[in-house]
Amino acid sequence: MHYRAIIFDFDGTIADTLEQTRHIYNQLAPEYGLRSVESHEMETLRNFSLSELLSHLEISTFRVPSLLARGTAMLRERIAQIPLIPGIAEILPSLRAEAQIFGILTSNATENVNLLLDAHGLRSHFTFVSSTSKLTGKAKHLKAIRKTFSLQSTEMLYIGDEIRDVKASHKAGIPCAAVTWGFNSRASLHAADPTHLIDSPHELLSLRRS
């Protein structure tokens, strides 16, 4: 593998948090004067970028930090109920064996990530878990990770399930693998032009031959 560092997003990429996130949002929505999101709407919402999603749900950007902080805290209370993406645990050891640096960069809280990884016996695989409190702050953190570990841009790979993950990778100047089992649809991820488009966790192993 030519990637010395493999960095994962968490929600929707490793952890199957989508349905719990919808439930938490619906609990908070009345307090913020927002409408709830029904399960049948999710396929349509999967095609939206972050800005399109916020506009569609009529969520002001000023409310996002509060919603994110409260939602993250509520997710922590339900962490034991959250499953991993099927097949992801099985391929992590093989990927880890090929990378010098193996980390997570997420908008979720590091405590949530560590709790779930510990529950599944996976925390020891990861070099670090890093969090950004801003939904659009990942590019800056990816650049910082590159500098911290003295990496060339081409030696890093960010793996995520959202359009914003692809955009952050482009902004940071590093390769990206977009996985289609998370929030955004395959078509919308393809349109964002990731380096790799991945349809199953097992396909991540093929990156060793890229």
DSSP bridge pairs for 157: 6
Q: Which pLDDT score is estimated for 134?
A: 75
Residues forming the active site: 9
Nearest to 176, CA basis, from 153, 191, 190, 196: 196
Q: What is the CB neighbour count within 10 angstroms for residue 206?
A: 10
DSSP string, the chain: ---SEEEE--BTTTB--HHHHHHHHHHHHHHHT-----GGGHHHHTT--HHHHHHHTT--GGGHHHHHHHHHHHHHHTGGGPPBPTTHHHHHHHHHHH-SEEEEEESS-HHHHHHHHHHTT-GGG-SEEEE-SSTT-HHHHHHHHHHHTT--GGGEEEEESSHHHHHHHHHHT--EEEETTSSS-HHHHHHT--SEEESSGGGGGGGGG-
Model confidence, pTM: 0.94
CA 15 – CA 107 distance, rounded (Å):
13
- For 45, list phi and psi in degrees, rounded to 5: -65, -25
58: left (phi over 0), alpha (psi -120 to 50) or beta: left
Per-residue pLDDT at 56: 95
Looking at the DSSP bridge assignments, the partners of residue 9 are: none
Torsion angles phi and psi, residue 104, rounded to 5: -130, 130
- pLDDT for 207 equals 82
Local confidence pLDDT in tens for the 210 residues of the chain: 589 999 999 999 999 999 999 999 999 999 999 999 999 999 999 999 999 999 999 999 899 999 999 999 999 998 888 999 999 999 999 999 989 999 999 999 999 999 999 999 999 999 999 998 777 789 999 999 999 999 999 999 999 999 999 999 999 999 999 999 999 999 999 999 999 999 999 999 988 544
